[in-house]
């Protein structure tokens, strides 16, 4: 039986996925006719929805399996779904002189993933998502410390305000949930991963960076999973396969958004993950975020948006001074959008 949609037939998967990752074009014809910012908005919304559903699936799978094992299966199935893409590109895409930095990138990504998977089983989804929004703030601090970026008073002030939002969510003046620190560790290591990507992007292609991370994470995550291993039931296995699909879909959606619009332009859509998380947490787990969570989240979002705005302005004047970045070419057949 023929697929009713000729663009996404499974047999065409290797032929469609690689061009989508490499190109600035949309391979979904209805989207291609829309302005780039609208395309980016749709991709970011899809990425936020798939990411939110992924968090629900992580919780469901963790009800039977240890989060360390869930991390392994997530990476294993993501690798399996990416094999056609890797095969299509060939071994030439893996040539690099910075294997040590790719190893560091994978190790940091693994720590961030493990702390996130553990944290969202212990903290309400909306609270976890709000704390994750601190990653851009940590990234700015690390860029100043590790890459020598000049961060002036305005951005330092925004970072301080954002950290005050974290304090509001942590509520040290009331019942303190130590599990929230796990999620802050996840955000900090995610920021460190972002810095390594920006450093690698000076000489390596995005394809090489993504490919190496996918190849590394499955074997790295297997080692700790063996210490808590139990064979998943068919029910849990279904969740794990779905988790791998969602992981790839979420990543590709964000990658496509960044391919068609400037990162600062799509930053507001990134924060739409919070209402998704609150809704999913309420529907699936009867979670109701309290007022402190919403107030703290609003402070963090405002400060992160300001940092993104300032970095975008600096990038227009000198992209090499922003988080160790470099000028990025505009996607093919698209007007110049600034740095991504």
What does the alpha-carbon distance between residue 318 and residue 55 come to, in Å, rounded to a whole number?
A: 37
Q: Which two tokens stand for residue 20?
A: 């989508």
Mean pLDDT to the nearest integer, 231-235: 93
Q: Is residue 308 part of a domain?
A: yes
pLDDT of residue 21: 44
Closest CA to 304 of 82, 63, 118, 136: 136
Mean pLDDT to the nearest integer, 129-142: 84
Q: Is residue 338 part of a domain?
A: no
pLDDT of residue 315: 63
* Lowest mean per-residue pLDDT among 85-94, 228-237, 273-282, 300-309: 85-94
Q: Is residue 330 part of a domain?
A: no
Total tally of structural domains belonging to the chain: 1
Contact 31, 39 (CB under 8 A): yes
Highest mean pLDDT among 11-15, 40-44, 59-63, 90-94 belongs to 59-63
On the question of pLDDT at 245 being above 90, the answer is: no
pLDDT tens string 298-335:
888 888 777 777 666 666 655 544 444 433 433 333 33
Q: Is residue 7 part of a domain?
A: no
pTM of the predicted protein model: 0.76
Q: Read off φ and ψ for residue 187, nearest 5 degrees.
A: -65, -40
Residue 208 vs residue 337, higher pLDDT:
208
pLDDT tens string 173-221:
767 778 889 999 999 998 888 788 777 777 777 667 777 888 889 999 9
Domain limits for position 304: 34-321
Q: Is residue 120 part of a domain?
A: yes
The DSSP call for residue 27 is S
* Lowest mean per-residue pLDDT among 7-11, 34-38, 177-181, 278-282: 7-11
Q: Is residue 112 part of a domain?
A: yes
Q: Is residue 73 part of a domain?
A: yes
Terminal alpha carbon distance of the chain: 41
Q: Which two tokens stand for residue 214?
A: 């996918």
Helix-then-strand count for the chain, H and E: 14, 0
Q: Is residue 229 part of a domain?
A: yes
pLDDT of residue 79: 85
Mean pLDDT value across the chain: 77
Mean pLDDT to the nearest integer, 112-130: 92
The C-alpha angle with vertex 57 and arms to 253 and 267, in degrees rounded to 5, equals 35
């Amino acid at each position: 039986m023929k697929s009713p949609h000729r663009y996404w037939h499974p047999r065409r998967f290797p032929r469609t996925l690689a061009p989508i990752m490499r190109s600035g074009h949309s391979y979904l014809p209805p989207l291609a006719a829309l302005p780039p910012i609208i395309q980016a908005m749709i991709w970011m919304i899809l990425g936020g929805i798939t990411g939110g559903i992924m968090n629900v699936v992580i919780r469901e799978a963790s009800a039977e399996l240890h989060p360390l094992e869930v991390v392994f299966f997530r990476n294993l199935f993501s690798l399996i779904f990416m094999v056609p893409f890797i095969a299509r590109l060939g071994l030439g895409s893996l040539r690099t002189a910075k294997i040590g930095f790719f190893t560091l990138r994978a190790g940091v990504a693994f720590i961030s993933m493990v702390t996130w998977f553990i944290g969202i089983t212990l903290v309400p989804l909306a609270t976890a998502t709000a704390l994750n929004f601190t990653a851009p703030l940590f990234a700015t601090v690390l860029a100043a410390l590790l890459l020598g970026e000049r961060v002036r008073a305005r951005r330092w002030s925004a970072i301080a305000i954002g950290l005050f939002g974290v304090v509001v969510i942590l509520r040290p003046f009331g019942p303190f949930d130590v599990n929230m620190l796990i999620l802050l560790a996840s955000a900090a290591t995610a920021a460190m991963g972002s810095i390594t990507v920006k450093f690698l992007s000076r000489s390596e292609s995005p394809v090489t960076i993504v490919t190496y991370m996918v190849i590394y994470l499955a074997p790295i995550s297997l080692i700790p999973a063996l210490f808590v291993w139990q064979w998943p039931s068919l029910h849990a296995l279904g969740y794990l396969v779905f988790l791998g699909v969602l992981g790839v879909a979420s990543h590709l959606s964000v990658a496509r958004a960044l391919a068609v619009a400037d990162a600062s332009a799509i930053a507001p859509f990134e924060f739409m993950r919070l209402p998704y998380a609150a809704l999913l947490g309420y529907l699936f787990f009867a979670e109701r975020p309290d007022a402190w969570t919403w107030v703290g989240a609003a402070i963090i979002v405002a400060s992160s948006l300001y940092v993104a705005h300032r970095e975008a302005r600096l990038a227009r004047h000198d992209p090499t001074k922003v988080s160790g970045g470099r000028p990025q070419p505009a996607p093919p057949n698209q007007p110049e959008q600034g740095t991504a």
